[in-house]
Amino acid sequence: MDTVRTFDPAGLEILDPPECLRLLMTVPVGRLVFSKGGLPAVRVVNFLLDGDTIVIATGPGDKYRAAVRGDVVGFEVDELDADRHLGWTVTVIGHLSVVPADEAAVLDRSLPLRSWAPQLDHHLIRLGAESVTGRRLVPWGQRPR
């Protein structure tokens, strides 16, 4: 049975949450969007998906403070083929939190996640996926008219 595909007004395919989570697992980095001093801040981070939560290793800076506060943040990943005009984007919105030390110790042993930044001490923070949306550019012949 063929899956019914839906498109937004711009002709982008609307991805369902399971497809979005599958795509999240295919890329090693994303962009965390949070507030810093009342203004938007964007940081590129490496991450892993643990169920339906995003886990990030970070130092004691801005991202960690946003997690301590429980800020609502955005997270975006994508993959684009500029030559073929194809690609997709996935956005996750939710509350950021600090992974408790006992759970972080277990995750440190079980997840192959290490911060790419040269830091000796790191914390694990988590983004609970409260909203997961995605869009895909499809070949011209597959787009609705």
The enclosing domain of 127 has a CATH number of 2.30.110.10
Residue 109 lies in a domain: yes
Residue 17 lies in a domain: no
Amino acid at residue number 32: L
Tokens of 88: 């997709």
Q: How many domains does the chain have?
A: 1
* Residue 5: pLDDT band with limits 50, 70, 90: confident
Using only C-alpha atoms, the chain has a radius of gyration, in whole angstroms, of 17
Record the tokens describing residue 39, joined without a space. 């203004």
Do the domain assignments include residue 124?
A: yes
Residue reference for tokens 């923070």? 125
Domain hosting 87: range is 26-137
Answer whether residue 142 is part of any domain: no
pLDDT at 73: 98
pLDDT at residue 120, rounded to an integer: 59
Distance CA 77, CA 26 (A): 10
- Decide if 42 is inside a domain: yes
Q: What average pLDDT does this structure show over 20-46?
A: 94
In a domain, 87, yes or no: yes
pLDDT digits (tens, 9 = 90+) for 39-78: 999 999 989 898 889 999 888 889 999 999 999 999 999 9
Is residue 14 included in any domain, yes or no?
A: no
Percentages of the chain per state (helix, strand, coil), in multiples of 5: 20, 45, 35
Handedness of CA 19, 22, 26, 27 (dihedral sign): positive
Residue 19 has pLDDT above 60, yes or no: yes
Torsion angle of alpha carbons 28, 6, 128, 38, nearest 10°? 90
**Residue 20 located in a structural domain:** no
